[in-house]
């Protein structure tokens, strides 16, 4: 089975929608006052991320929570960003392996 994206949505727009729903699910059982998202800065990806996440909206008990998005450069060597990068690359390798094995 292949993953298909809607013609009008890019891969990053789909990721933004899924992440929005996942955060909303977590917000149902964890109290939030606000949300901060930190993305690894990339000259190519920054504008795409800004566009995809500009209208992200999370609600808790019908109240909209403030969501702030930030970019951090890789050279900052922030441990949280390094862990997220490791996880993303591990998932990407596994996805590529699954596609190769399947194909």
Q: Are residues 63 and 81 in the same domain?
A: no
Q: Which residues span the domain enclosing 85?
A: 75-103
Residue holding tokens 């929005």?
A: 20
Q: What is the pLDDT of residues 11-26, one digit of tens each?
A: 788 888 888 888 888 8
* pTM of structure: 0.68
Going by pLDDT thresholds of 50, 70 and 90, the confidence category of residue 61 is confident
What is the number of structural domains in the chain? Answer: 2
Spatial separation of the C-alpha atoms in residues 13 and 1, rounded to whole Å:
21
Q: Give SS3 for 6.
A: coil
What are the DSSP calls for 72-93, one per residue? E-GGG--HHHHHHHHHHHHHHH
Q: What share of the chain is helix, strand, coil (3-state, %, to 5)?
A: 50, 15, 30
The model's confidence at residue 47, banded by pLDDT at 50, 70 and 90, is very high
Based on the domain organization, do 88 and 64 belong to the same domain? no
For 37-50, what is the mean pLDDT? 89
Q: What percent of the chain has pLDDT over 70?
A: 89
């Amino acid at each position: 089975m292949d993953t298909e994206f809607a013609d009008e949505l890019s891969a990053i727009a789909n990721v933004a929608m899924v992440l929005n729903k996942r955060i909303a699910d977590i917000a149902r059982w964890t109290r939030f006052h606000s949300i901060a998202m930190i993305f690894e800065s990339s000259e190519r990806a920054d504008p795409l991320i800004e566009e995809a996440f500009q209208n992200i909206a999370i609600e808790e008990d019908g109240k909209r929570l403030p969501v702030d998005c930030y970019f951090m450069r890789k050279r900052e060597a922030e441990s949280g960003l390094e862990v997220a990068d490791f996880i993303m690359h591990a998932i990407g390798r596994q996805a590529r392996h699954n596609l190769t094995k399947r194909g």
